Amino acid sequence: MFTKVLIANRGEIACRVIKTCRKMGIATVAVYSDADADALHVEMADEAVRIGPPPSTQSYLQIDRIVQACRDTGALAVHPGYGFLSERGAFAEALADADVTFIGPNMRAIAAMGDKIESKKLAFAAKVTTVPGYVGEIRDEAHARKIAREIGYPVMVKASAGGGGKGLRIVHRKEELAQAIQSSQNEAHASFGDDRLFIEKFVTEPRHIEIQVLGDKHGNVIYLGERECSIQRRHQKVIEEAPSPFLDEKTRRAMGEQAVALAKAVGYDSAGTVEFIVDKDRNFYFLEMNTRLQVEHPVTELITGFDLVELMIRVAAGEKLPIKQSDVKLNGWAIESRIYAEDPYRGFLPSTGRLLRYQPPQEGTRDGITVRNDTGVYEGGEISVFYDPMIAKLCTHAPIRAQAIDAMADALDEFRIDGIRHNIDFLNAIMHSPRFREGRLSTAFIAEEYPNGFHGRPLDDELRRRFVAAALVVKLARTKRAGDISGTLNGRHKGPEELIASIGDWNVSIALATFRHGKLFAEIDGEPYTARSDWTPGNSMVPLREKDGKYTFQLTRLPGCYRLTHGGTTVTVSVRRPEAATLAELMQRKAVNSGSNALLCPMPGLVVSVNVKEGQEVKAGEPLAVVEAMKMENVLTAERDATVKKINAKKGDSLALDDVILEFA
């Protein structure tokens, strides 16, 4: 067994690998760029080596620097994590030349299956059913147009070295093809150093289901069940679960056996994932194979009980798999939510900055429910513009799917992040979606459920009443504390309150409101309401226990009101005496500048291109500029017909949030 392992990655996956190495008694070496000098993975590792400036092309993708770090530290093996160099055969070859073991598949398997074009050729030759498309690299835009015309729109433009949604675009009309090719090439080059593309047919209403395989160097290959990865946005997975709520045992076995056969055809000898598109009739089509550990591997670990990182390390060291196919049992249900630094209320635009507060829910197992949080950040740390926006992967495991979903919703309610925008409300809203809870999924789920963007989980009467109750707890507890302080103007608070609560334009009368000894009573809009809470002033979480369950609200005090977050939405609640509420209605509201006469930069980022000129007339939907942030290109389009008056930014400029890119006449 190796005595020292270098992790050629960053963030949560580097921390994840370090945890397993610690458990196995293996020393660890972290590598870091200048932007990651204070990162969590650097702190956790036994040693750390600087490998370059912040851009990944100058640091985490520099093979020679990582190999030199192995030499300098005496690392005997390298775990690549996912992304970066994890599927680069040249990296595995360079390590072999330096007599360092690559904790991943052999170079032949990487070459055959890690390259999306070559893997399709191999699958086609092996008579594995694949998605219709062109099996080969597109030469130029004219070639791409010919292929798209032959197989019919919509099509997918995909990076051959792609993964994680990088370098992938769905094209519905021929007018979109040129921009899709350019953006896919740029993203692929920035993320993988390889800008080759191919095109295949986009199957409508598909499910994305993948099989986890595991092989050793002695010819043994098994599969560890499937993962449902259909909840995606911009072709990047958002929520994953295992097993799939759609597959029956017959289909699961058929997919697993086909995945194993494909892996054996290339002598696969590590953890890998065979991805399939599955239609409504459970017909499945080979999509690609990822020759690495997947982001979503924790859900497989939770339902099988196996540590995939440990098994990868043992296999790389030459050990036989300690398990055979008959040992694989799927127990319970696991769900993973990817927590990203992005603002779902502003079209999921990336968010960067300092984590002023980072308080994940408590990990561990209680009453048959497990909560796990894989992360690479800490409170006070910085979310950089240079890398993937993932903050954490929150996982829950329970005996049945409904319990795992409920546990996830509760855990998301308890996950507090301040200082940057994040997608926790969005994830929680999905947990409460009837369609998700019923398991009626497809890769179009998010687009279909939120066609006009995400605006928070809709408030029904029950949820609105619960928000009012949480605000009442805070209001009455703070009033009592103020009254108990000797010498205050309020004096000792006595008797029930008559109040008015407001959420947006909704006002409700509250009578007989009291909060004593942890028990809340009030008549809310004429209906009696009771609950218990142990909230005390100063706490940022407001627990509320009703007869049917316990609910947690995140609290932020604002002037004259409270901002509360719960169950997939954030609302502002004011609780006032009737005379104060009347006066508040008379206050003027400040108009918000919509910026309709200018194109504002929606996130901190780098200008890739400005596609228009001063004086040019543009139509609604026409691309105006492209801004890159967190390795993803964002095409900014015109919201209406207009004439460009002035251009304030050029290619290569670094812009802050809301910087003016161009102005309209």
Q: What gap in Å lies between CA 200 and CA 523, rounded to an integer?
A: 60
CB 198 within 8 A of CB 132: no
Q: What gap in Å lies between CA 436 and CA 418, rounded to an integer?
A: 28
Q: What gap in Å lies between CA 208 and CA 238, rounded to an integer?
A: 12
CB 529 within 8 A of CB 523: yes
Amino acid at 197: L
From the list 471, 456, 481, 479, the residue with the least C-alpha distance to 502 is 471
Write out the two tokens for 606: 């780098």
Residue tagged 């580097």 (tokens): 14
Helix, coil or strand: residue 80: coil
Q: What gap in Å lies between CA 646 and CA 497, rounded to an integer?
A: 57
Q: What gap in Å lies between CA 413 and CA 549, rounded to an integer?
A: 14
From the list 150, 136, 234, the residue with the least C-alpha distance to 184 is 234
From the list 379, 390, 433, the residue with the least C-alpha distance to 408 is 433
Q: In sequence order, which residues have a C-beta less than 8 Å from that of residue 460 and are 6 or more positions away? A: none
Helix, coil or strand: residue 456: coil
CA trace torsion 91, 96, 99, 105 (10° rounding): 90
| Cβ density class 90-122: b for 16+ within 10 Å, e for less | ebbebbeeeebbbbbbbbebbbbbbbbbbbbeb
CB 531 within 8 A of CB 546: yes
From the list 552, 459, 551, 454, the residue with the least C-alpha distance to 503 is 459
From the list 587, 625, 620, 590, the residue with the least C-alpha distance to 606 is 625
Q: What gap in Å lies between CA 627 and CA 636, rounded to an integer?
A: 8
From the list 299, 305, 309, 307, the residue with the least C-alpha distance to 329 is 305
H-state helical runs in 534-586: 578-585
- Of the listed 288, 296, 336, 633, which one is catalytic? 288
CB 420 within 8 A of CB 353: yes
- Number of other residues whose CB lies within 10 A of the CB of residue 390: 23
From the list 593, 605, 594, 597, the residue with the least C-alpha distance to 635 is 605
Q: What gap in Å lies between CA 373 and CA 396, rounded to an integer?
A: 9
Write the CA distances from 466 to 238, 501, 523, 528, integer angstroms. Answer: 28, 12, 13, 12
CB 609 within 8 A of CB 626: yes
H-state helical runs in 238-307: 249-265, 297-304
Q: In sequence order, which residues have a C-beta less than 8 Å from that of residue 53 and are 6 or more positions away? A: 33, 34, 59
Active site residue 288: yes
Cis peptide before 243 (omega within 30 of 0): yes
Q: Are strands 342-343 and 364-366 parallel, antiparallel or unpaired?
A: unpaired
Active site residues: 288
